[in-house]
Chains A and B, each alone.
Chain A
Amino acid sequence: MSETERRISPEDVRHVARLARLALDDDEIGLYASQLSAILEHVDAVRRLDTANVPPTAHPFPVENVLRDDAVTASLDRATVLAQAPLAESDCFRVPRIMGEAP
């Protein structure tokens, strides 16, 4: 097994897919294991870079918190917004259960 193939295993792909909430089939898991390994190999110059005393840049220019005046203004129409939802009910977005059954 080469260095590249070792880097990202199918188990790693399953773990990352779970974090990303992506349902992948077995073919995709195999494909992404090899492609992600190749991509990480390609970006390895960044991982190996000597960055002592180099600060990180998250944004090209300094970002400041921007606050508008605390005045009441119109917001989006509720019916218009809910009309775009896959499922809405009683002025709310309807989703499947998010917690287990009560004991």
Chain B
Amino acid sequence: MTSSRGPEFPSLVDIAASVRSGERSARAVLAQSLGRVRDLEGDLHCFNEVTLEAAEADADAVDQMVRSGLDPGPLAGVPVALKDNLCTVGVPTTCSSRILEGWLPPYDATVVTRLRLAGAIPIGKTNLDEFAMGSSTENSAFGPTRNPWDITRVPGGSSGGSAAAVACGMVPLSFGSDTGGSIRQPAALCGIVGVKPTYGVVSRYGLIAFASSLDQIGPFATTVADAALGLEVVAGHDPMDSTSLERPAPSLLASLGDGVSGLRIGIIDDFLSDVSPECGAAVIAAAEALAAAGAEVDRVKIPELLLGLPAYYLIAPAEASSNLSRYDGVRYGLRVDGPDAETMNARTRGEGFGPEVKRRIMIGTYALSAGYYDAYYGQAQKARTIVIRAFEAAYRNFDVLLTPTTPSVAFPFGSKVDDPIEMYLCDLCSIPSSLAGHPAASVPFALSPEGLPIGVQVLAPALGEVQMMRVAASLEQAAPPGARGPVTP
């Protein structure tokens, strides 16, 4: 299966400028986006729901503001897609789960509110692995999303619908959530930019919880500058999220062109033996490009990071087993009746959750249960400390670190779905930053021999988004043409 290049999007800044000036209507920008959805959605299944009428009404409102001499905001008329675990008033929000099918949230996520206030036009809710648990979208109760580069392959996950919608040119900007790699991994597999911010930079209010100490919302775009603008718009303190950092949104766009001269960049050696040769080679090539641009590049061993994957697969399920206890057939979603409340709860959950969600609830419940808590969950929390301390030591010598984003390129449907551990290994390189709460971004940097995109991951310490995005922008400049979307399947 092959794909062809393009069509390219104008930058978000250019889209918004043309809408703000009245040169182009938001309605015309939207029509182009929806036309692309109409043409490709049948092949790709990016969306659980396309909110056509609401999007047209929102676009008309933006155009009316422009005609009235008001400024709709920095994303005026920009069509945006939202992962279907972000609450949207009156629009079904399912987490791609039968247990929430048809649920209508009574409030908007803060991210959604901020996008609207910036003039963006939400066009629909994108497919994901059920409750964001997975790396391929094959765990969606509504069927998988397909990769625009090769529709026989997965787009990655869990935010696969949001990644594919940008990678095939439906929308120039989308949002996903990342708990252990769910933005970065699909961004890499779809040849686009994906950013997981520092924990607490973006409000989680209205993000349906998976693992609350790890979950973070972030953008997908085809360019670093567009991802940076998307992040700037949604970031910043929110009193509705008690873990939201009391800081203003970072200013990223202004310094993207500052280059990498003098930055100290470390290639993390420890993952290179566990990834495919082409994914490893891309990181080495990226480091060489950064050195040529004036960075000081060296290799670094941080073997403690290899504890990340096993620690994560205890911590995240433990938190999930607690968070998902709310789906009990009482207040919202599915109910399967029973003679007493406990039987009703258990039948509802047994029928409403898919196999991976049940698996993780079981692991988490086991790891938290009497007699096993100290050996599993307690030990994992201590391993988390060891990972964080190892990062702290490395960041005394480096400003940013580089790894492959993923161990391999996009894989064929069905190739990992029966082996949970194989699927979990997709997150090998992305998990350590999640455990530490650090920011990380995936930048498309190379193509495999079969023409599939390969991402390089840029890691930075907490609140290091500015230097991280500078490095990402420099990598983007050095990347070979054709390594990034959009593509037409």
Chain B 286-318, CB-CB to A under 8 Å as 1, else 0, gives 000000000000000000000100110110000
Choice from A16, A54, A83, A85 contacting B369 with Cβ under 8 Å: A16
CB distance from B294 to the nearest CB of A (A): 32
What's the Cα separation between A81 and B104 when bound, in Å?
A: 9
* Majority secondary structure, B binding face: helix
Q: Taking the complex as formed, is A90 at the interface, i.e. its CB lies under 8 A from any CB of chain B?
A: no
Whether B375 lies near A47 (C-beta < 8 A) is yes
Whether B366 lies near A85 (C-beta < 8 A) is no
Choice from B340, B379, B438 contacting A49 with Cβ under 8 Å: B379
Whether A36 lies near B376 (C-beta < 8 A) is no
Q: Which residue of A lies closest to B332 (CB)?
A: A84
Whether A22 lies near B330 (C-beta < 8 A) is no
What's the Cα separation between A66 and B337 when bound, in Å?
A: 39
CB distance from B243 to the nearest CB of A (A): 6
Residues of B within 8 A of A12 (CB): 366
Q: Taking the complex as formed, is B378 at the interface, i.e. its CB lies under 8 A from any CB of chain A?
A: yes
Residues of B within 8 A of A60 (CB): 199-200, 213, 388, 435-438, 462
Q: Taking the complex as formed, is B161 at the interface, i.e. its CB lies under 8 A from any CB of chain A?
A: no
Residues of A within 8 A of B346 (CB): 17-18, 21-23
Q: Which residue of B lies closest to A54 (CB)?
A: B382
**B340, B436, B462 interface centre (most CB from chain A within 10 Å):** B340
If the complex has contacts A19-B369, A61-B199, are A56 and B310 also in contact, measured as CB distance less than 8 A? no
CB distance from B399 to the nearest CB of A (A): 20
Residues of A within 8 A of B436 (CB): 60
Residue count of chain A within 8 Å CB distance of chain B: 53
What's the Cα separation between A46 and B374 when bound, in Å?
A: 11
What's the Cα separation between A98 and B436 when bound, in Å?
A: 42
Q: Taking the complex as formed, is A2 at the interface, i.e. its CB lies under 8 A from any CB of chain B?
A: no
Residues of A within 8 A of B365 (CB): 16, 19-20
Chain A 56-71, CB-CB to B under 8 Å as 1, else 0, gives 1111110101101000
Whether B385 lies near A56 (C-beta < 8 A) is yes
What's the Cα separation between A39 and B316 when bound, in Å?
A: 13
If the complex has contacts A19-B365, A36-B362, A61-B199, are A96 and B382 also in contact, measured as CB distance less than 8 A? no
Q: Taking the complex as formed, is B328 at the interface, i.e. its CB lies under 8 A from any CB of chain A?
A: yes
Whether A96 lies near B339 (C-beta < 8 A) is yes
Chain B 271-292, CB-CB to A under 8 Å as 1, else 0, gives 0000000000000000000000
Residues of A within 8 A of B343 (CB): 23, 96
Choice from A44, A65, A84, A86 contacting B329 with Cβ under 8 Å: A86
Whether B334 lies near A76 (C-beta < 8 A) is no
Q: Taking the complex as formed, is B361 at the interface, i.e. its CB lies under 8 A from any CB of chain A?
A: yes
Chain A residues in contact with chain B, CB under 8 A?
8, 12-13, 16-24, 28, 32, 35-36, 38-40, 42-47, 49, 51, 54-61, 63, 65-66, 68, 76-77, 80-81, 83-87, 93, 95-98
Return 19 A-B CB contacts under 8 Å, by A number.
A16-B369, A20-B325, A23-B350, A32-B359, A36-B362, A38-B420, A39-B363, A39-B424, A40-B363, A43-B314, A46-B311, A49-B307, A57-B382, A57-B385, A60-B213, A80-B106, A84-B332, A84-B333, A85-B330
Taking A39-B421, A66-B239, A86-B329 as given, write out 5 further A-B residue pairs in contact, using a Cβ cutoff of 8 Å, ordered by the A residue number. Answer: A20-B365, A22-B358, A32-B362, A49-B307, A98-B340
